[in-house]
Amino acid sequence: MADKKARLTVDGLDDVIELPVYSGTEGPDVIDVRPLTGQGLFTYDPGFVSTAACESKITYIDGGKGVLLHGGYPIEQLAENSDYLEVCYLLLNGELPTPEQKEEFVSTVKRHTMIHEQMNHFFNGFRRDAHPMAIMVAVVGALSAFYHDSLDIDNAHHREVCAYRLIAKMPTLAAMCYKYSIGMPFQYPRNDLNYAENFLHMMFGNPCEEYKPNPVLAKAMDKIFLLHADHEQNASTSTVRLAGSSGANPFACIASGIAALWGPAHGGANEAVLTMLEEIGDEANIPDFIERAKDPEDSFRLMGFGHRVYRNFDPRAKVMKQTCDEVLAELGIENDPMLKIAKRLEQIALEDEYFVKRKLYPNVDFYSGIILKAIGIPTNMFTVIFALSRTIGWISHWSEFHSSPNKIGRPRQLYTGPSQRDYKK
C-alpha cells in the first residue's frame, strides 16, 4: 500500500493525476509513475539518475552522508569484523550466517572452485596479449555450455547452485587470464587455502615449488574483494538485472555485467589511477599537475579523488587506506617512485584547501590501485579483480529479481526524429 499520494497537474489535462508515494526503510520516498502511461505520458530521466527501477533489500547507499550498508550492516563494521565469503552469504541470504552456516557455505564454495577441463582449451583461441576482460566476458558466458544442469531460473535451488558456482569459479578464471597472458601453466585451486589465499596461489604459484601466501597480502586481497562486493544499482548491476529480465541464463547475465564494468567510466577507475601516476612520472612534477587539476580549462583530472555517489567521503576509503599502509610496510617498498607520488598526492588532497573544500578525498579506487600494484598484479588485471569481487553483488541482485514477480525491462524514449512520412521513388 502507498504511504501517501502525489498530485500532478499537467497543462492540457483537465484532471489532476494522483500518483502513489512509497517509503523505503532508508532513503527518499519514491513516486510510482506507472499510472502516467494511462494518460499517454512517460517520465524523462536520462541515465536513470532519478528513477528507482526496482525494489531491493540487498544494499543501501546514502552518498551525501557517506553511508554504505549491506543488509543493514555498515561497510566499515563488515570490513573490520567479517570477511569476503561471509559478506557473500549476507548478500545472498539477507542475514549473516551462524558459525555452522558459514562453515558449510565456505566448504561448498571450495568444492566448486575447479572448472571443466575442456574450458582450458578456450584460452588457446585468444591471443596472448588479449585484454583479460575480453577473455572474461567470453569464458564466463561459456560456463552455461558446461553447467546446463541448473539453468531453470524459476527454480530456487538452481539459482543457488549457479550462485555458488560463480562465486567459486571466478577467481580460477581470473587467475587463468593472467597465467595465459604470461605463458605460464594454469594453477589448480587448493582447498586447504582460504578464498583470498587461493586466488594469490593461482596468480603467482607455479608447479616447480610450493606457494605460501603472505598473510598480510591475503588479508589485503580479501579486503579488496569485500569492499567491492556490491554497490547498489550501478551501471553493471542494472545491466545484469535488465539482461536477467529477459529470462537469460545467469552466466550470460553475469557476462553482460562484466562487459558493462569494462567501460572506463565504471570499472576502470583504479586502473586510471595507475595511468595517472605514470603520467606524472616524478614527484617534482606534482605541483604542475595539481595546478592543472585546479584549472577548469584543463582536461587533466586527478583520478581516484572524490566519487560520483559519495558527496562527503567514500566509507570504504578509510579501510582501504589502512590496508594500503599495512601492505606497503610489509613489502618495504615505501620508496618506490610511483608509490611515493601516490602518497604525496594523498597528503595534498587531505590538506590542500581546494580539495578539502570540494571534498575531493582519496576514494577506494585510489588505494586499491596502489595495493594491487604493490602486490604485483598488472594494471590490465585490475578490472578483472573488480569483476571477481562484484560477481556476488550481481548474482544476488539477479536472484532477488527472479525470487518475486517480475517483467522484462522496457525503457521508454523521447522521440525527436522525423514524423511519419511517405517513401517516394
131 part of the active site: no
Annotated catalytic residue within 83, 222, 230, 365: 365
Out of 307, 314, 397, 402, the active site residue is 307
Write a three-state SS string for the chain: CCCEEEEECCCCCCCCEEEEEECCCCCCCEECCHHHHHHCCCCCCHHHCCCCCCCCCCEEEECCCCEEEECCEEHHHHHHHCCHHHHHHHHHHCCCCCHHHHHHHHHHHHCCCCCCHHHHHHHCCCCCCCCHHHHHHHHHHHHHHCCHHHCCCCCHHHHHHHHHHHHHHHHHHHHHHHHHHCCCCCCCCCCCCCHHHHHHHHHHCECCECCCCCHHHHHHHHHHHHHCCCCCCCHHHHHHHHHHCCCCCHHHHHHHHHHHHCCCCCCCHHHHHHHHHHHHCCHHHHHHHHHHHHCCCCCCCCCCECCCCCCCCCHHHHHHHHHHHHHHHHHCCCCCHHHHHHHHHHHHHHHCHHHHHCCCCECHHHHHHHHHHHHCCCHHHHHHHHHHHHHHHHHHHHHHHHCCCCCCCCCCCCCCCCCCCCCCC
Q: Is 148 a catalytic residue?
A: no
What end-to-end distance do the CA atoms of the chain give, in Å?
57
Alpha-carbon distance 203 to 209, whole Å? 14
CA atoms within 13 Å, Cβ hemisphere of 84: 27
Residues carrying an active site annotation: 307, 365
